[in-house]
Amino acid sequence: MLSQFSFDYFFWIVALGTMVLGFTSGLIGTSLVLEKQSQLGDAIGHAVYPGVIITFMLFQTRNTAILLVGAVVFGLIAFSIIQLIRRYTDFPYESILALVLSAFFSLGLLLYNVVQRNPQFQTVNFAGLNNYIMGQAAFLMWSDVRLIIIVSVVVVAVFMLLYPKIKLYLFDSIFAQTIGINNQWISHLLLLMCLLVIAVGLQAVGAKLISSMLVAPAIAAQQWTQSYGKMLGLAGVFGMVASFIGTLLSTTISNIATGPMIVVVLTAIALLSLVFGTKGILADKLYTSHKEVSR
């Protein structure tokens, strides 16, 4: 059922936050897709949740900036554990990611139950902590949006500043190393930028869906161009447009959550691009048919 809609202050606050997050996620997510590390984004997205809860337990505050620090720290811990298991075992990479994802996320849920049942935390408002699981963009405050903007500006600025080195690392890491680029440093920096985007996006989209914000725009953009620069721009635009449409639809339609709606719109854009993009399935079929006819 449609509710009466007006472009009021609160709508634009939420729309601004999700659009900035969508643009930055799309931009940074291209590195995950090109490195074939999309599942890593999903694993770390789930792994940061216990960091939020533990930080709340230690400082007894729901200040987003403080909780962000805990999320980033636990994301780094999860990544380190993944790398250690890969180095010292022969387990398949997908199995390691699934193990770390489920273990960390389960720890987060367990700790949240501890907070709910412990009288020590009853004096502090912990009700919003479960929003970090599925997201609750509709309740974003200006302080939350401001943090998203600040982190996004820093991340995008660093990314653009190091764009030539990042491009070389992603497409020709051997040559990058021969001309003095520290590939490991670039890799860790990209991971840190992804972690920051994941952390600030938790409240809007949630731990379960944040990886889609990183991966879907990049997948969609990849179907339209072979140029990395154009791919970055398209991924950012797709993320931003989907975020606005998702926010608009969730506002106009009753009982629809903003985060999941944004992901649904992003998925639709990705699927349409996979079919109708200039590098998509349909274009490939037409090219193959034309080639056979030419023979």
Predicted confidence (pLDDT) per residue in 155-179, tens digit: 999 999 999 999 999 999 899 999 9
What are the residue ranges spanned by the domains of the chain? 9-287
Q: Which long-range contacts (CB under 8 A, 24 or more apart) does 281-288 make?
A: none
Which structure tokens are listed for 293?
């006819």
Predicted confidence (pLDDT) per residue in 93-121, tens digit: 889 999 999 999 999 999 988 888 887 77
- Answer yes or no: is pLDDT of 281 > 80: no
pLDDT over 90 for what percent of the chain?
59
- Answer yes or no: is pLDDT of 6 > 60: no
Predicted confidence (pLDDT) per residue in 47-63, tens digit: 999 999 999 888 888 88
What local confidence, expressed as pLDDT, does residue 220 receive? 95
Which structure tokens are listed for 98?
């699934």
Kindly report the pTM of this predicted structure: 0.88
Reading phi first (left if > 0) and then psi (alpha if -120 to 50, else beta), residue 255 is in left
Predicted confidence (pLDDT) per residue in 219-277, tens digit: 999 999 999 999 999 999 999 999 999 999 998 887 888 889 999 999 999 999 999 98
- Answer yes or no: is pLDDT of 3 > 90: no
More confident residue, 126 or 260: 260
Distance CA 83, CA 80 (A): 5
Which structure tokens are listed for 281?
């399935």
Which structure tokens are listed for 28?
């940074």
The fold adopted by the segment(s) 9-287 is ABC transporter involved in vitamin B12 uptake, BtuC (1.10.3470)
Which structure tokens are listed for 36?
């074939």
Contacts of 97 (CB under 8 A, 6+ apart): 39, 40, 42, 43, 82
What local confidence, expressed as pLDDT, does residue 138 receive? 79
In 3D space, the residue among 100, 96, 95, 85 whose CA is nearest the CA of residue 45 turns out to be 100
What local confidence, expressed as pLDDT, does residue 23 receive? 97
- Answer yes or no: is pLDDT of 286 > 80: no
- Contact of 112 with 130, CB cutoff 8 Å: yes
- Answer yes or no: is pLDDT of 295 > 80: no
What local confidence, expressed as pLDDT, does residue 293 receive? 47
